A and B are shown apart, each in its own frame.
Chain A
Amino acid sequence: MTSIGNDIIALKTIDIPRTRSFGFYSKILSVSEQQLYQEQFTAIPFELFVWLLWSVKESVYKCLQRHQPNLIFSPVKIELKRLIVPAVQSSSFHGQLANTGFTDSECFCSEIRLGPRRFSSRSVIYGDEAIFTVAQPAEDCHAESVEPSGADLRQTQADNTNFSDIHWGIKQINSSGFETQSAAVREFLLEILYILYPGRELRIIKNDAGCPFLFVDGQAVEQRISLSHHGEYVGYALA
């Protein structure tokens, strides 16, 4: 299954006391993920851990939704099996950043399961601004042999899923209104698409499930794209 999903969380919009309440986080984290946090990741502020996992799970959901339009998002059932914390913290991205590939030492590398399906993701937390995640089906994860509780998941080697050819971008915009976000993220993605498809007529069209597809000169192409927006931030992933 070829697919891609991304998500962005505007950290200034999150409600920290609410995120820290059991009623809230228990609808996002499984019991084993809650234990995992207590056992191994308390150096990360809990609200950041909750929203990091939300971002990972939402990205995985978007991967699946491309092939299963009627799939219901059930965050607790999408389970983190492995998490590698970055050696280097990222700071601000200064309003806009477009990049290709990820440096594993600078991002959270996750392996995720939903039933028999396995996914891999890369996430970056930019200070107090945003969490950005890209997920795709896993090529060679270690999750088969690792249980979420009791085992040391703070390993240093990321899985072999190839993120090096993924183009991605994040941008701060001036409005959090839906229409502005939607237009801004398309315009942002088209900047790179026009480089990849010079002189062609490009359109980004969402299907009934809300998944974006690229049309070049009126024809749908296999290019994998994903869009996200939250608050005053927009993001894309392209492979």
Chain B
Amino acid sequence: MNRTEILEELKKILSPYTVDKEKLAAINDDTDLIKDLKINSANLVDIIIDAEEKYNVEIDYDSAEKMIKVGSCIDVIAERLSEK
């Protein structure tokens, strides 16, 4: 799975947690989940768990703390997928 494919899947994961669907459709590596998509910080762990379930990977808390921008989310998911 390449970065573009992960990005498209990530949009589906993020969708329940943001009301700004226009910004969600236009996300890129620099998009900040909290500042740009207005996702509540209390949902950040939900997003990580959803990603774990979607890709059947385990994301430890050291990696999870990096998942604040779309690009770093894709980095972490791609890294975990490559280890499978």
Interface residues of A (CB under 8 A from B): 9, 13, 15, 18, 21, 23-24, 26-28, 54, 58, 72-76, 177-178, 210, 229-230
Contacts and interface: CB of A to CB of B under 8 A. Distances in A.
Interface of B: 19-20, 34-35, 38, 40-42, 44-46, 48-49, 52, 58, 61, 64-66, 68
Given A177-B19, A210-B34, A210-B35, A74 B61 contact: yes
B19 A27 contact: no
A76 B61 contact: yes
A9 B42 contact: yes
A73 B65 contact: yes
Contacts, number: 40
Given A72-B68, A178-B38, A18 B46 contact: yes
B42 A27 contact: no
Q: Is the interface of A mostly helix, strand, loop or mixed?
A: mixed
A74 B44 CA distance: 11
Contact of B40 (A24, A27, A73, A230): A230
B80 to A, nearest CB: 13
A72 B65 contact: yes
Contacts of A54: 42
A23 B52 contact: yes
A230 B46 CA distance: 14
